[in-house]
Amino acid sequence: MSRHPDTQVLRYTAFSADPEGGNPAGVVLDASGLDGAAMLAVAAELGYSESAFLTGRGEPAGAGAPGAREYTIRYFSPKAEVPFCGHATVATALALAERDGPGDLVFNTLAGTVPVTVTREGAELRATLTSVEPDVMDIAPDDLAEALAALDWPAAGLDPALPPRIAFAGARHLVLAAATRERLADLSYDFARLEALMHRLDLTTLQLVWRAAPDVFHVRDPFPVGGVVEDPATGAAAAAFGAYLRDQGLVPEAVVLTLHQGEDMGRPGTLTVELRADDARVQVSGTGTRIGG
């Protein structure tokens, strides 16, 4: 099926109230007339790291989420479908809130069920997603060595206090911590080599981080498997990183973290990550705005 000529594609940026900041995403609020190939074609034409496509018309959610509207959502990079995308989730939730008003949503993704709440804070809307159950895994020494070689990062340039791990909260991300802000800023990697490793390990991005304070981090996310050199603000990786920090005992059981991303790309954004003592899942929140009015 080809793209229907009446398909309306909205453009939003997530994790910044400035359309020149954060991470842009395409949003199709009614993709019921599109198949996967057509969705991929839309995403490729837009060229954003991901775009989101809603099917169905927002039926009332089940008993576990009274008052919420429930949708099935699919995410596509310019090269392939991905199981979950945080920034496109935020963008879609904000688009729905502008159309229908703030409130509770339930998104059924390939990775599982993701509740989202949109609230109004003054003139801004803020979306908060709750991840699926996370997991944190070791990475084999040979795979770590290959990742560092593709990045051209020496092992001595890593922060020993934040050990490399693969973290999952809807998608898999390799967490690597730089010892200095300068190391994080120096990102010029072998695209094909890193892409091959990421396909082999089923990684969506690399979550490259530098710890500026106990609860503040600067992060960058190479995304060659999506056909994108770098993602400007990555909600799925932020959720996975929160799970990683808790798993490694690097933050309190209940804490709010601030992640700064996109500064080195000229698209600064802020992601807020909340860990709760009574819930293994991770909350990620941020603002956003429509691009182009």
Least confident of 58-72, 95-109, 163-177, 179-193: 58-72
Which percentage of the chain shows pLDDT scores above 70?
A: 96
User: Is residue 2 pLDDT above 60, yes or no?
Assistant: no
Split at pLDDT 50, 70, 90, the class of 8 is very high
- How many angstroms separate the CA atoms of 122 and 91, rounded? 18
pTM listed for this prediction: 0.94
pLDDT at 65: 75
**Helix, coil or strand: residue 58:** strand
Please tell me whether residue 38 adopts helix, strand or coil conformation: helix
pLDDT at 5 over 70: no
Instruction: Please give the pLDDT value at position 1.
Output: 38
Mean pLDDT of 166-190: 97
- Tell me whether residue 223 is exposed, middle or buried, using C-beta atoms within 10 angstroms of its C-beta: 0 to 12, 13 to 18, 19 or more: buried
**Angle between helix 141-151 and helix 191-201 axes, rounded to 10 deg:** 150
Where does residue 69 fall: left (phi above 0), alpha (psi -120 to 50 degrees), or beta otherwise?
beta
Domains of the chain: 10-130 (3.10.310.10), 135-289 (3.10.310.10)
Helix axes 86-100, 235-247, angle to 10 degrees: 120
Decide if 14 contacts 25 (C-beta within 8 A).
yes
Position 63 confidence tier, pLDDT thresholds 50, 70, 90: low
Quick one: pLDDT at residue 58?
A: 73
- Is pLDDT of 6 > 90? no
Q: Would you say 74 and 110 are in contact if contact means Cβ atoms under 8 Å apart?
A: yes
What percent of the chain clears pLDDT 90, i.e. is strictly above it?
A: 91
Residue 32 CA: distances (Å) to CA of 12, 35, 37: 20, 8, 13
Amino acid at 236: A
